[in-house]
Structure formats: C-alpha cells, structure tokens
Structure 1
Amino acid sequence: MSVAAPTTPSAADRPAAPDARKATRRRRSHLLVALVSLALGLYVTAGLWENPFRHGVADNLGDQAFFEWVLAYGVHLLQHGGDPFFTHLMNVPDGVNLAANTSITVYAILFAPLTMLAGPQISFVTILTLNLAGSAFAWYLFLGRWVTPHRVAAAVGGLFAGFAPGFIAHANGHLNWTSGWIAPLVLWQLLRMRDQRHWVRNGLLLGVLLALGFSIAAEGLFFTALAGGLFVIVWGLGKPNRAETRALLPKFLGSLGLTAVVAGALLAYPLYMHFAGPQTFKGTGFNQRHYSEDVASYFAFADRSVAAGLGLGNDLAPNPTEETSFFGVPLMLLMIGSLVMLWRRAGERRRATLRALIVVAVVFFVVSLGPRLRWFGQEEPIPLLYALLQKLPLFDSALPLRFALVLVGVFAVVLALVVDRLLASSRKPSQKRAMTAALALALVPIFPLPLLYRERAPEPTFISSGAWKQYAADGGTISTLPFAINVAADGQRWQAYTMARAGDEFRITGGYFLGPDVQGAQGPGRIGALPRQTDWLFLRAALYGYIADLDNWDRAAARADFQRWGLTAVYLPDGEITGPEGPLFRQAVEITATDLLGPPEHVEDALVWRIRPGVDPLDR
C-alpha cells in the first residue's frame, strides 16, 4: 500500500497508519531475506568468483563446460540466428539435439549480453549464484503467502529449501537443477487457481510458467508437476475439502485446459524436437539402477556440509553432484516428530493438508529408491515402485534419486509450520528453548560449505587471438586433441569462448552432450558422440598415457574419420589438458599425434597439424 507524503510538520510527526507500518516491515523483511540469500549464494560459490576464468567446479568440470557452451550459443543465436534446439556446431557432421539435452534456452538468451561482455565463465557463476539465492527467496515468499504469517518461519523454510544439501550438491555444475525457484512459482500459480474469479488469467499464466520452466529445467518441472498434481488430488479428496473441490472443479479444469493450450503452443516445436527430432534418443545415457537413492543416504550427511567437514561424511552417492537427499539423522527425526506433533494438534482441514504433504513425501521417497532397494551401498533383490515406472515415457529419461529433491520442498513447509508454532505458542520458556535447540541440532550440521574448485587450463592464445582462422575459414572444422568429451572438454570450452566474442566461429568434432547410441536412429541415450577409432586413439593417450604402436589399420581409420568430420586442422595447446581429476597426459597425446600426422607447426602457444582438403595428411 502506498501512503501519501506528509505535507506539514504536524503530519510528519503523526504516526504512520497500521497498514503502512505493516507494509514497511514486510518490505524490510523481504529485503533482509533477499540479502541473506544472496550472501549465502556468494559464500557457496566464493571459490569460483575468486577467478571465474580459471576456476571450475572440482567435481563436475564437464557439465560446467557444457553449460558455458550453451550460454555462448545464446550469443551465437542473437548474432547469427539459428535453431535454439539443434546445432551443427558440435558433433560434426551429425549435430546435437539441444532440446533433448539440458539447453537452458531462456538463460542463454537472457544472459547473452553479459556473456558477450564478460564471457560465459562469468555468466555461469552469476546464474549459479542467483539460482541458489533466488530459490531461497522464492520459497520464502511462497511459504509466507500460503503456509505461515510469520516471516521468520517463512525465512527459515525458504533458506533451507534454497541451500538444502541436494541443491548444494547440484551446484557442482548444474544450472538447471539449481533453478529451484521454478517450483515455488509454479506451485504458487497452481494454488491461485482456486480463485474462481480469475480462472482464465490463472490458466494462461500457469501455461507461460510451464513453458518457462521447461526451457530451463525440464526434469525439475516434471517433478514439480507430479508433486503438485498429487498434492492437489489428495487434498481435494480429503473429507473437509470435498464440497469445495466439487464447486471448484469445473473452472479448475477449464484453467488447466487453458494451461495446456498455452504451454502446448509455446512448446510445440521444442517438444517435437525433444521427442521426435533428429539426434534424439530414448531413455538416458545413465544407468538408472546406479543412480538410485540408498535408504541410508537420507540419514547421512553430504560432502559439502558442516557435519562432513567434521568427519561425518560418507560414500553413498554415485558422485558428489548427486547427493540429492543427505538430510542427516537429526533432521529426519525432527521431520518425523514434527509431523506427529502437527497432526495431533491440527484440526480436520489442517490434517487434510498434512495428509497430502505426507503422501507426496512417501511417494517420492519410494520412487527415489529406484527399481531395487539399496541399503548402505548394497542392492537387495527387492523390487520397488520404480521397477513399474522406469519404462514409461519421461520416467525412462529421469534419474530416480533426483526425485528425492521433492522432499526438500515438503521439509521446508514442515519447518515453516514448526517455527510458526514455536513463535505463536504459549509454551513455557524451557519448552521453547528445547524446540529451538532441536531445530539448531537438525539444521546446523547440514549448513553448506563452499563448493570445491580446481584450476582449468586457460584459453590458448592460438584461439583467443584468432590465429585459428587461417586453419578453419568460413566455419570449418578444427579440433583440439583429444577430441572434446565430458572427461576432456577443453575443446568445447575454446569453441564456446570464441562464440561468446560474437566473431567468426568454427565447428568441432565430438563434444559433451547426450545423443543416440545408434547412428541415424532414435536409439538409447549415450554420453557424447558415437566412438570412432581415432577418438579412442587420442583419448586413451590423454587419460592413461598410453602410446599406441600405430599400424596401417590405424592410419586408414584416421583417414576415414578425418574425411567424415571434414577436419581442416587439429591442435594441441602448450599448456595442460584439463581432466576430470587433474591434468591429463599431454606428452602422450603429442607423441601420438606426431607419429600419426608428422611434425606439427608451432603457432602462438599451440602445436597445429594442418589437414588440407584433397591431400592425404598421413602420406609422409
């Protein structure tokens, strides 16, 4: 509410109206929570901010390289046009279906000016920081609107949701999964659809939000839709809500119909590309049984938590990026005890809400366990719900353990309710102190530690100076050695940095992406391009230092591969080759390339082997 400015001294001395004071306190609370959220986001990503151009997330350099490439592709789209959902700049000559990958299209376009000005490295860490902070703030606003009138309670729940262990783990390179602000926005609009007066507007807005969410985090949007739908159904079927449900149902379904029309229209092409476009695939390139949650992980502590820093870590996750639950014993006990307490003290309508929350939590907990039960790293021969779901569309492309992230939202609601009761209750001071201590005991151990980072190889002058242009004119194909893939993504980074400068650009063989495992067909998913003999020749040298004894068969395979890729040159920077856990064996790669292609040229700070069209590069 706005208040007119006082015009006289006496008016200035007059106390503000109650509504004005309330609005001022609310704005101050919002600003404080926003600043705390941003400060925590900067704290978590501090190591990357120290040197954004050289530091990368230690546990997932490959995904960071991919997202930097997508952000640079946004500049390419604005400068040169093209298809946001398919590119021939990678994986020559087949290309990459970006709609079937995590292409964060909205971010790529929205942050293109920053990417062009400062580079995709800056855009990456900026989005990562804002994602964490924005998620906490969005959940705070959601909880304050729909769950509790106490801003402190909403802040506790919001900060937990934004910086929960699962999302800190995904901050290791995942700009899609750290976009946790999408869930509260979608749920907010879903709950607003109870308003019968604006059912048309609400349906249209939800459709736009779904299109936005799909273009940033399609898998997370899928989970949000499932959780929101399940909650609404269970809540609506509750005895005290049945009459309201019957009254709301016609216009609610009408709103959903408008949502489907709007979202379908906005997403018609990306959905076509995702499911039926070229270079799409079925399922995922990852083993779903391997990427399933261990029951014990819910009671363990994540690597980047205070508890793990004190020596209470574990190795229950497939990798540090997928620690999607890891709430710890104290928080799990607090959640169970809190739900029991809230249930006992709740009226019939509140119990309907709690029942819906519990059903969502239980269902997503079971789904997150995957097709077989796992306990302390051991898979048991006990089939679970996901064994029935894993072949269904969408479920076949999801990783089961990520369903555990839905419990973060459920726990945030429960935390807000508990703190709300603590602040509003007339309990004895000793009881309040006990409840406060229980909250601290549950939340302090999972407080996040900053992300680990590692040095990455700097961009070679051969690329940054434009010296490469004499080897790949007019969008030709050149490649660093080894060819770009998730465990050796430098070549993809160099191409991204060139695109971000909005100048000339080149194409590359391979790359880190998801594609089909069968040439020219919608086969099962795999990571990277279909392997060829020459790929493995150089990757093996880089990863293991293995120097092959080349024969005529190797040389014939290289001729065929170079011709298929249309390569005009390959190059090897003088510095280190960035690997998943440290520098790779550069000397082995140089020896292999020289044996295969002959002596290189030394251009700027790179060795270059020219491959002239129509001339056999191996004829020495």
Structure 2
Amino acid sequence: MPPWGKKRLPSPEFTGRLANVRLVSVVEAAPSESAEPPAVSGGARARARLRSWRPNLVMGVASLVLAAYMTNGLWRDPATSAIAENKGDQAFFEWILGYGVYTLSHGADPFYTWMMNAPLGVNLAANTSITVYTVLFSPLTFLAGPQVSFVAILTLNLAGSAFAWWLFLRRYLVRNPAAAALGGIFCGFAPGFVSHANGHLNWTAGWVAPVVLWWVLKLREPGHWIRNGVVLGVLIAVGFSIAAEGLFFTALASGVFLAVWSLLPATRQEARAALPTVLAGLVTAAVIALGLLMYPLYMHFDGPRTFTGTGFNQFYYSEGLAAYFEYPTRSIAGSLGWGNDLAPNATEETSYFGAPLMVLVVVAFVTLWRRAEAGRRSTLAALMTVGLVFFVLSLGPELKIFKPLTGIWLPYQALMHLPLFDSALPARLALVVVGVFGIVLALTADRLLSEPLPSVTSHTVWAAGYALALLPLFPLPIVTEHRAPEPAFIADGIWRDYVSDNGVLSTLPFATTDMADGQRWQAYTMARAGKQFRIPDGYFLGPGGPDGTGQIGASARNTDWLFFRAAFYGYVQPIDDFDRERAREDFRYWNLEAVFLADDITGSHSQLYRSAVEITATDLLGQPERVGGVLLWRIRPGVDPQ
C-alpha cells in the first residue's frame, strides 16, 4: 500500500510494510467470543505499558552509549580538548552558544551581531547559527560554558538521530525491533554523519529528517490536516534554525518521492484522492513556518551583509564516483589502512559506504522488488528514485572518478547557480542516500527475521553479507587533541580593567578560521554575561567574494596579514614606516583599544609560531605589559604604534 493508502491487514509479504503509513492489526472477534474485552487490572496495564516502552528505552540507551563512545575524547576535558580535524568549526559553534547567553541577557538580535567583525558585524542568519540550540542550551552554557554545551549537543545529535530513525522505522516500515534498530543505528552513525561529527552541530542533527518525514506522511490523515499542518510548520521552523541545508535536502527528497509515487499507474488514483487533504496540510504548514521564519528569512536573503553562494568551490566539494566504494577514515576499515584521501577534508566524507555495502543494497532491493505487488512496487520505485537522484546530484557539476575532473558535465551543472542550490555543497547530498540505504537494510532485515527462508544456508549467506558490509564501517571515536587553555586575563575578568564596555579587544594573531583562540575566548566571556568586549575579524561567512559571493571571514587588512604570516609561517617581517602607518589606519578602523598574546596559542590545522608573533608585535607596538598570563599592548586613541 502507498504511504497514504487505506488501512488494511498487513500482507504476509514482507515488503508490504513499506507501503503502509501505519501498520494496524484488525482482528475480528469470532462469533463464539464475547464482544466485551476482558477486565484488566491497573497493575497489568502498567506492566503492559512498560513492556511496550522497553524496546524504546533499550534503543535510547544504546544510542546514547554509542554517541558517548564517539565523543569521549571531548568529555574527558571539554575546556582544553578540541576536535583535531576541525578546531575552527568547533570554536565557531562555541562562539554561537556563548552568543546565545549574550542574546538573552542583553536583548541582542539573534540573527545579527556586532560582537564580531568590528565595526561591521556579522549576519548570523546567513551562517549556521543553530538558534534553537543556543536558546535551549543557554542555562547549561551559562553554568558550564560553551565547551560543555558543544559536546553535549554533539552527543545528543548523534544519539537522537539514531533514535529518531528507529521510531520512524518502527512506526511506518518494519515489525521486528532488531531490524528497526539496525536501520536506526546505521542512519545515525553512517560514515557521512560520523565525518560531520568533526565539528558540525548542524549536520550531525540527522534527527531532523525522520521527524519531518514522519509528519509529512501524517498529512494524509483525514480530519487532522490543521493539527498536522501546524506541527509540520513548527518542525520546519525548528529545522531551519538548526540545519537549514539538511532541511532543504529533506524537502527535496520528500518532493521527489511523492511526485514519483503519485504518478505511477498503480498508485495514481489513491494519490489523487488524498491530494486535497495533503495540500490543505501543506498550506497550513507553510503559513505557520513563514510566520515563524519571516524575520530570519528576511535576514538570510535580504538583510545587511548578505551574499550569494558560500564561496566554496562546488566542483571541489563534490563526490568522486569511487568515493561510494571506499571506506571512511574513522572506521574499523580505515584503522586497518583501507581508508582513502578522496574527500576534500576529513569532515566531508559524506558517502564512503564501501563496495560490500553497495553490492548488498542492490541485492536487497532486487529481493524486495521481486516479492512486491504493483502498489508496493510504486513505493519501492519512489524510494530508489530518491536514492538515484541524490546519488547523481552528489557527484556535482562535473564527473570525477577519483579526484580529477573528467570534463563530463552532470545534471548539477544546471542547478548550481539557482537560489539555495548555489549555497549547497553537492557532496552533502549523499547524506540523503544514507536514509535510503538505511530503509532498505531495515526492510530486508525485517523480512529475514520475520519470514522463513528456503534453507539455513540462505540465512547464513544473508548474515554474512550484512556482517561483511557493516562491520568494517563501525565508527571509531572522534580524534581530539590539546588546545590552548583560557588565560587568566580572560577567565578572571582582568581584561575589564583595560577595555571599555563593548570596546574592541583582540588576541594576537587576530581571530580567523586558522587561529580561533580569540573567538572562543570571547565566547566564554559572553557566556558569563555582564560586561563584554568586541573583536575584529573572526571566523564566519560574509560578503567579499568575487561577483557578490561569500567568503570566509573579513577581508584581510595589512595588519591582519602581518600577524597571520608571523603566526602561520613564522615569518618575521622587518617593520617600517609603511607598516606603522597602515597599523594606525587599521586600529582606527577597528577602534581597537588593546591587543594581547597568550603564553599558549593554538592553530586550527597546524602549530603556530608564537615567538614570531611576539617579535612582530614588540617591533610594531613596543614593549608589552605582563598581565594575567598574557602580554598586553594598550592601544589608546591618538597613540600611534612606535
């Protein structure tokens, strides 16, 4: 039966489960049976409810344990542990969480900030600002710091994704709890999401897809279009504020599935009958979502300091065909040396299913197809169309077998300049394929566990196939390493004696994606509320790229570049009058009151040359003061560099 078909007894054929929106067992009483149900005591009812919730409890605990295993390196010491592959993004999200406390305590705009990139500010609506999370976790951020909130959200994202897929599969697709658990664990901890656990609080929120899909399927319920539309609208608003790109992909996948299913001959009539109810629910959802998102959407598309695109190269951030057959770095197979270097970076290994899983999914789908009736084949066909469409789109605008471009244009070429698509990275479309694979694996496992097979050998072959495909993909914990601790100058509030309220203060080197200490230390002060300081520069997306596109961070000024070269390359440039004049201009532009250099500084991707920074700063600004574990240079208005 299709997703909004009439309810009926489940078919003895396993794949009939895919077609039912809700599996309802209808049992007619035999003539000799009493029409009155037997009396049940309150204790019996309580025990029955407990038994019905026990699988959910077991799955929830298992998901949380696996997520904690993945993030244990951060939990050991959140203050000085950082994700080795992506310290910059971790610092950005910690800053966003700190700004959440600042927003609530100061009544600031959650979608535009003046605290970073002085004096221009940053459009947070055009960044991954995870607004709902910043509000919900603001008490934890205030009490324990952005570092703890970051790892808590990351852990709950991974666990919640697996658990949400479990609930979705149990509700709509499979009977056997073990099959649903397999599908949920796969979807929540698939290689692509494990890869994004390297710092991305937006993309690890994989629970958004099954929750939104749940309520999309509920739109067909007669008489409940208002309720279902309102709930879906709220979920869309929440999803947009946490993972806008993921919500966009979920909407595309839903549209492809419903369009294909509705046009196929076997299900066309049923789709036509359900259309009025579904459209009424969708209109309601759109009205609610637009009402809640009116301001953030304005800020995202037409607010100050907006831009088109993200500045990331879509040819580079696309999947090579071979990547689907390779193993991810953070997996058992990767630890055995079977990994690869095909991804743009370790955070973007968005497919990497391995050849055995690719073969298993094809065999499993063919098996399901052969046992399905016409109506059920419509649902399977729509599901696999989604998988194929997103597989092709994830390859980007030009085909790559491995890393080099081949010159063969692909369908994404026609989409890459359209609104929304111009801000998406094609490789991430492969994350939709994760959901398709997870559903196929769960459906097949349900059949294997629920229906007899011709022989013991058949069970053995299938079990071996699952083990060969999935065990090498079992994830390894996120790699962490030390990062510079917060200096006493910041932690003890000593900085307040040297900077006016909302004055501009900066670390040396200035905060960028490669040198994020200054940005995260500012985040810690915002999380404590009270007096604050602003910073120049920072790690964010903003205008400044060619042809109105975005770029990472602020456009570099001469003084930025002077200290960047010293920190990143160890280059000590002789300071002359030109440098001092440019420094005067830059200090006036930022309205900078002081700069400081901590004893320990951390680079996002490599070690920094602290001694070169100190030599450069002393040559430019004179001898520093030693205060609270840092070297401090005051920059008063009207006082020039030496």
On whether the aligned pair clears a TM of 0.5, the verdict is yes
TM norm structure 1: 0.95
Shift of 1:581: 3.1
Report the counterpart of residue 295 of structure 1 in structure 2: 321
Q: Tell me: CA distance 1:22–1:160, structure 2 relative to 1, closer, same or farther (3 Å).
A: farther
1:115-264 aligned within 5 A: 115-264=141-290
Report the counterpart of residue 472 of structure 2 in structure 1: 445
Deviates more, 1:419-428 or 1:489-498: 419-428
Report the counterpart of residue 621 of structure 2 in structure 1: 597
Partner of 1:311, secondary structure, is helix
Report the Cα distance in structure 1 between the residues aligned to 2:208 and 2:164, rounded to whole angstroms: 8
Shift of 1:16: 4.7
Report the Cα distance in structure 2 between the residues aligned to 1:415 and 1:143, rounded to whole angstroms: 11
Q: Tell me: CA distance 1:198–1:590, structure 2 relative to 1, closer, same or farther (3 Å).
A: same
TM norm structure 2: 0.92
| AA in 2 matched with 1:599 | Q
Partner of 1:572, secondary structure, is strand
Q: CA-to-partner distance for each residue in 1:230-255, whole Å, 9 max, x for gaps?
A: 11111112222111111111121111
Matched, 1:62 2:85: no
Question: Alignment partner for residue 478 of structure 1, among 498, 501, 505?
Answer: 505
Report the counterpart of residue 527 of structure 2 in structure 1: 500
Report the counterpart of residue 564 of structure 1 in structure 2: 589
Matched, 1:574 2:599: yes
Report the counterpart of residue 92 of structure 1 in structure 2: 118
Q: Tell me: CA distance 1:528–1:14, structure 2 relative to 1, closer, same or farther (3 Å).
A: closer
Which ranges in structure 2 are unaligned for 5 or more consecutive residues? 1-38
Report the Cα distance in structure 2 between the residues aligned to 1:148 and 1:194, rounded to whole angstroms: 20
Matched, 1:76 2:102: yes
1:510-589 aligned within 5 A: 510-517=537-544, 523-575=548-600, 577-589=601-613
| AA in 2 matched with 1:474 | D
Contact 2:233 2:284 in 1 (8 A): yes
Report the Cα distance in structure 1 between the residues aligned to 2:223 and 2:179, rounded to whole angstroms: 30
Matched, 1:321 2:347: yes
Q: Which runs of 4+ in 1 moved over 6 A?
A: 11-15
Contact 1:335 1:414 in 2 (8 A): yes
Shift of 1:541: 0.4
Contact 1:280 1:522 in 2 (8 A): no
Shift of 1:63: 0.2
Shift of 1:22: 6.0
Identity of aligned residues (%): 60
Report the Cα distance in structure 1 between the residues aligned to 2:42 and 2:567, rounded to whole angstroms: 75
Report the counterpart of residue 4 of structure 1 in structure 2: none
Shift of 1:580: 2.3
Partner of 1:507, secondary structure, is coil
| AA in 2 matched with 1:444 | L
Partner of 1:193, secondary structure, is helix
Q: How many residues align?
A: 603
Question: Alignment partner for residue 269 of structure 1, among 295, 319, 322?
Answer: 295
Contact 2:504 2:594 in 1 (8 A): yes
Q: CA-to-partner distance for each residue in 1:188-247, whole Å, 9 max, x for gaps?
A: 000001102201111111111000000000000000000011111111122221111111
Shift of 1:554: 1.2
Contact 1:91 1:508 in 2 (8 A): yes
Contact 1:281 1:522 in 2 (8 A): no
Shift of 1:531: 1.0
Contact 1:297 1:325 in 2 (8 A): yes
1:601-616 aligned within 5 A: 601-616=625-640
Partner of 2:399, secondary structure, is strand
Q: CA-to-partner distance for each residue in 1:507-541, whole Å, 9 max, x for gaps?
A: 000000000016xx992110001111110100110
Shift of 1:615: 2.2
Report the Cα distance in structure 2 between the residues aligned to 1:161 and 1:275, rounded to whole angstroms: 32
Question: Alignment partner for residue 40 of structure 1, among 55, 60, 66?
Answer: 66
Deviates more, 1:237-246 or 1:374-383: 237-246
Partner of 2:168, secondary structure, is helix
Q: CA-to-partner distance for each residue in 1:442-480, whole Å, 9 max, x for gaps?
A: 110000000001111000001111111122121100100
Shift of 1:259: 1.1
Report the counterpart of residue 458 of structure 1 in structure 2: 485
Across the aligned residues of Structure 1 and Structure 2, the Cα RMSD in angstroms comes to: 1.5
Deviates more, 1:307-316 or 1:547-556: 547-556
Report the counterpart of residue 6 of structure 1 in structure 2: none
Report the counterpart of residue 3 of structure 1 in structure 2: none
Contact 2:516 2:604 in 1 (8 A): no
Report the Cα distance in structure 2 between the residues aligned to 1:96 and 1:451, rounded to whole angstroms: 30
Shift of 1:13: 10
Report the Cα distance in structure 2 between the residues aligned to 1:573 and 1:218, rounded to whole angstroms: 36
Q: Tell me: CA distance 1:14–1:583, structure 2 relative to 1, closer, same or farther (3 Å).
A: closer
Matched, 1:418 2:444: yes
| AA in 1 matched with 2:538 | G
Contact 1:488 1:580 in 2 (8 A): yes
Report the Cα distance in structure 1 between the residues aligned to 2:625 and 2:524, rounded to whole angstroms: 23
